[in-house]
Each structure stands twice: as structure tokens, then as C-alpha cells.
């Protein structure tokens, strides 16, 4: 049923839960798995300007993203999966838009992602990438909630 499963990862426990579920599904379906890490430069420039030299901060985020992708790839391999990893950078677009763009470009059949399940003021303040992906995705989306 699914041939290509896209898994956005950010290093959080919630995204790790999403990856575990994606590995399980990919193994059952014989699907390819791709992990995606997105560096959100727009968030940095809007929220951290002046605290650190921006190019240094972006380099640190790239290093961090590589570590997160390496860890996610290792987790997938340990579950018996072959996995591709990719890092994208976004200056003007939300992370959710980048996830959808990757799903279209790679021709994903399914997006599996963790969600923190925020409600109320924290949802309003932070927005919800998961909600945006669900509302705008051309393919099915499986949301994996944070541990209770």
C-alpha cells in the first residue's frame, strides 16, 4: 500500500516515537523510508537576532541537524530498515511547508510525524506544523502523539 514514507525528525522524543512507528509501517509494507530535518532560519532571524552571529548559529544548527539525522538513520537501521536522510533549510517558509514540499518532490505516499498535541495558548503562540501538514497534505498523514 505504501511505497515511500516521509518522516520529519527534530530530535524530540515525540519525533522519535513517530520514527519508530514509521519504521514499523515501512517494514510491514516493504516501503522506502526518508528522514527529513528542516532548519528554520526564519524563526532564528525573527527570534534570536542580536544574541549570536547568525552564520555561526546556522552552522551550529546544521551540525545539530546532521547529528539528529545520523541518530534517526541509526534507529531505522537498528529496526532493519534502509533509510535515506535529507536536510533542508528554509528562510522564508514554515517548516510545515517544507515538509509538504519534500513529500511532493520525493513522491511520498505517507507522512508520519510526531505531534506534541498542544492546545490553547501554547498552540496559538507556537502554531502547529502538524496541523498545517494534515490540512494541506496531498497524501495521508499519520500523527503520533507524545507519550502521556
Question: Is residue 39 within 8 Å of residue 62, measured between CB atoms?
Answer: yes
CATH superfamily of 4-145: HUPs (3.40.50.620)
Q: Are 133 and 120 in contact (CB under 8 A)?
A: no
pLDDT digits (tens, 9 = 90+) for 80-113: 999 999 999 987 788 899 999 999 999 999 999 9
Instruction: Give the containing element (helix H, strand E) for 104.
Output: helix 95-106
Q: What values do phi and psi take at 17, rounded to 5?
A: -65, -40
Sort strands 110-115 and 141-145 into parallel, antiparallel or unpaired: parallel
- Where along the chain do its domains lie? 4-145
pTM of the model as a whole: 0.85
The residues with which 36 forms a beta bridge, in sequence order, are 8, 86
Amino acid at each position: 500500500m505504501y511505497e515511500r514514507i516521509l518522516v520529519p525528525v527534530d530530535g524530540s522524543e515525540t519525533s522519535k516515537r513517530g520514527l519508530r512507528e514509521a519504521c514499523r509501517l515501512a517494514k510491514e509494507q516493504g516501503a522506502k523510508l526518508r528522514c527529513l530535518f528542516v532548519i528554520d532560519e526564519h524563526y532564528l532571524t525573527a527570534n534570536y537576532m542580536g544574541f549570536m552571529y547568525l552564520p555561526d548559529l546556522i552552522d551550529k544548527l546544521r551540525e545539530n541537524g546532521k547529528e539528529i539525522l545520523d541518530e534517526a538513520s541509526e534507529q531505522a537501521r537498528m529496526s532493519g530498515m534502509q533509510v535515506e536522510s535529507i536536510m533542508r533549510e528554509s528562510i522564508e517558509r514554515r517548516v510545515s511547508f517544507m515538509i509538504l514540499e519534500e513529500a511532493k518532490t520525493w513522491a511520498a505516499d505517507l507522512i508520519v510525524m510526531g505531534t506534541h498535541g498542544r492546545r490553547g495558548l501554547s498552540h496559538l503562540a507556537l502554531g502547529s506544523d502538524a496541523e498545517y501538514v494534515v490540512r494541506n497534505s496531498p497524501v495521508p498523514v499519520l500523527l503520533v502523539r507524545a507519550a502521556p
